[in-house]
Structure 1
């Protein structure tokens, strides 16, 4: 016997109308009617209430209604999946806000360190550029100039590590070294420093100033000219690289 038939049987045995049973269960009469004709089923909380009201066990109420048992099992599984999804979402939200708070703390620390070490915050008089320019800093020491653009916490989302939101470009005369967010070191090769170089190149080097990556578009003569340039000015590049990494360490406190 299906649960709807049992509800109807017990209701009639007590000589209750559908309206009376509906009032006792705090549902509508049409809801009771839909149970009795098997259009749908009561929820778990209501099944317990029906069991208490009629004074029959849940086992007796549900035993023969296999479809009801299947539907109830599905509802329980959906409830468990919902619970797990909610837990996972909560963890993701907590991690996001925790990471964002860490980035904001890093940004505050970097700005404080920049100020402490004498970097000048470059402000723009143009309203359209003021936001970006307020994150630009410059420091001049003897014949070397350092420039940095500080990424905000919002800009930093998606970068592998919070401490990688500092880059510094260092210039001395016509020599330029750039240490980027990913700690990639670049060197600008200028004909103004060496006439054997035919044009301006930007190359990636290691911490010792040696070529780290070649470009397939270079001719063999260009590649050899670049290698000769790096070898000739390796001491200058090495000095600028060391000083740049030292500045980044001061800013990040690492």
Structure 2
């Protein structure tokens, strides 16, 4: 968790939003919306502030022709990110490229990413977790990187995120290592995945009707939401409700 000695990203937004709410809002936001980076920066700050196992957090994204850190709770997190960009290899890049969480429960034992290992080891970090984040299209747009000094407290967090991404419900109750912040993260990820599934289902309905590919159909859904002033998730939910009504057809 951050201390007063850890520099924050300039312009770091201070809001009362929760980590879970931020992840859910991101999943329901169009990829090209101007608020995307606000959500991403907020997710990094809230993760560093609320997750007891996490000492530093950052956001990695592909922008233009390379990887960049959109937000970081500390210069230490930024340094570990940049070591991975320099090598073009590491858990955060692998997570973004494969759209799967990548946990490193013991950095000292990793052999796959030497640049990541050296940087993290020099800074006293012993475990990490990179989590793909997505917006309205359902395609990962960034990765939330969580870095910790204690392997024992990071292990339940890594296991919990893996559970959620396999489609199972997040751990409940007072399980070891599952503090309030961890429950917020896992609940937010689970609900964000539900939002994504709803939007993808609506895209599937439109694809079947209009015989367009997924990218074109997402843009169609995005345009419909913009025209009505509704959110993507509300537009998708309404479309699915209409499609489920007997003798009705979703609008093209």
TM-score for both structures, normalised by structure 2: 0.22
Bigger RCO (CA 8 Å, 6+ sep): 2
TM-score for both structures, normalised by structure 1: 0.22
Pair member with larger Rg: 1
